[in-house]
Structure 1
């Protein structure tokens, strides 16, 4: 993982929330919310909450009496999430590292995480800390992206940027968001952390965007892919965005577009 892979700063958090969340994250947030609501938790922890896509979906699915702690390592992302849900007194927002959760043992009924495990430097260590803060009958619910070839818009963007920077193609999307999809590895990591009751499934959905330009802004400017582009040539951010938009337009049309997205959803118990 590159040192820039976890940098969500500057304008990235705002663009991430406005563009990327509705395009690819919201549908999976609703899926996690349904799974969590089915567990009827009274005390819930979310790690790697980002700008709050899952937080909003889960909060809408759960009753008034719950206690919900939403955390993220990146404070600018968490600030966007907290602003979006400032009027929900069930939620406590807290900056926290998933590698060393600042909570007591057996404190939560459910721990959830949407598309965050790919960023953990040591997944077995992180999963072990999740196990520590879960109650004995608790559940860890999370998802990760499947391989990039099964996520068409992101794959289109990666191929297009490889042509713009052939000597040093930006590989953030392949390396990190879409770099942790082997189900056997995921299961082994969870077992290494002490989880035994593990279910893993593949879930395909469709990403929707009002235009190719919208999708290109989401991917090139609302993720750490932006940092990779700017590290190669800061003057080419708009050129790169336009090139990705043209590649998406060529495959998906000029009007409202849709493209396959695919994730792996995991539920693990002790």
Structure 2
């Protein structure tokens, strides 16, 4: 079992939040259908059950949750935010609707008044914030009394075989200095007890956490490209030499060959806090 125990519950380094350069395009093309679309549909379904009128999405990325929320809740006003303007450009192209506004913002210092929203949504973003509890306190601050925060985080990397295989292949390729992005983030924040403690310490009262499994169809070449070049792993690889990114992508593709064209399970935790 590979677990970045030192990283569980600890603040995420700020550099791991860098989604710029070619990363947003590859993230959107390769990783949204592979990893994020099934869980976006799940979050949007849960959000619709609350019938919110004012929604804030933080760490919106390239807008897969934004689009699902806009479609499922056409009467709601949605503000989608992200730290990366490049990611929001992709989000606006995907989820541009009359009821959606986009704003570059830091989840740890939200530029909104207290008690503004009925619902705050965050898909696979909490693990990237340098100060998770501060981000959760900001979510609480901008919620109206009785408002909810709905978010998800990945389960252990061992329960997510596609990323697990890629992480192992890349680590083996650079055995003397293995990149640890996936083990550390985004799969290093999976301990339910730690997550619940962070949410409660931030001021939320009612907290529920459910672990759900989704299936994903693997196209090995696209998955390897997305995981190695559409995430901050790309920067870790680039520091290991001019050919490191291409070599890691090739190794990842070979590792995923047995999954090519097959449906493979993924596992994540869904947190609802009020």
Name the TM-score, length of structure 1 as normaliser.
Answer: 0.94
Are 2:233 and 1:233 equivalent residues in the alignment?
no
Match of 1:71 in 2: 81
| 2:215 partner SS | strand
Q: Is the contact between residue 17 and residue 129 of structure 2 (CA under 8 Å) also seen in structure 1?
A: no
Match of 2:267 in 1: 262
The equivalent position to 1:85 in structure 2, one of 70, 95, 104, is 95
Q: Distance in 2 between matches of 1:218 and 1:257?
A: 17
Are 2:194 and 1:185 equivalent residues in the alignment?
yes
User: Could you report, residue by residue, the CA deviation over 1:30-52 in whole angstroms, capped at 9, with x for unpaired residues?
Assistant: 00000000111110000000000
Q: Distance in 1 between matches of 2:95 and 2:206?
A: 33
| 1:256 partner SS | coil
Q: Distance in 2 between matches of 1:194 and 1:142?
A: 16
For structure 1, the 5+ residue unaligned runs are: none
Q: Distance in 2 between matches of 1:9 and 1:121?
A: 17
Pairs within 5 Å for 1:248-259 = 248-249=256-257, 251-252=258-259, 255-259=260-264
Higher mean displacement: 23-32 or 226-235: 226-235
CA RMSD in angstroms, aligned pairs only: 1.1
Q: Distance in 1 between matches of 2:14 and 2:133?
A: 20
User: Could you report, residue by residue, the CA deviation over 1:220-261 in whole angstroms, capped at 9, with x for unpaired residues?
Assistant: 111111111111113222221111111111x42xx4133221
1:137 to partner: Cα distance: 1.2
Match of 1:59 in 2: 70
Q: Is the contact between residue 24 and residue 208 of structure 1 (CA under 8 Å) also seen in structure 2?
A: no
Match of 2:217 in 1: 208
User: Could you report, residue by residue, the CA deviation over 1:92-135 in whole angstroms, capped at 9, with x for unpaired residues?
Assistant: 10000010111011110000000000011111111111111101
Match of 1:46 in 2: 57
Q: Distance in 2 between matches of 1:27 and 1:98?
A: 24
Q: Is the contact between residue 120 and residue 150 of structure 2 (CA under 8 Å) also seen in structure 1?
A: yes
Match of 2:146 in 1: 137
Q: Is the contact between residue 4 and residue 227 of structure 1 (CA under 8 Å) also seen in structure 2?
A: no
Match of 1:32 in 2: 43
Runs of 4+ that moved beyond 6 A: none
Match of 2:4 in 1: none
Q: Is the contact between residue 212 and residue 257 of structure 1 (CA under 8 Å) also seen in structure 2?
A: no
Q: Distance in 1 between matches of 2:105 and 2:267?
A: 28
User: Could you report, residue by residue, the CA deviation over 1:6-36 in whole angstroms, capped at 9, with x for unpaired residues?
Assistant: 1111111011111100011000000000000
The equivalent position to 1:126 in structure 2, one of 135, 140, 150, is 135
1:83 to partner: Cα distance: 2.0
1:2 to partner: Cα distance: 4.3
Q: Distance in 2 between matches of 1:243 and 1:126?
A: 36
1:191 to partner: Cα distance: 1.0
Q: Is the contact between residue 58 and residue 122 of structure 2 (CA under 8 Å) also seen in structure 1?
A: yes
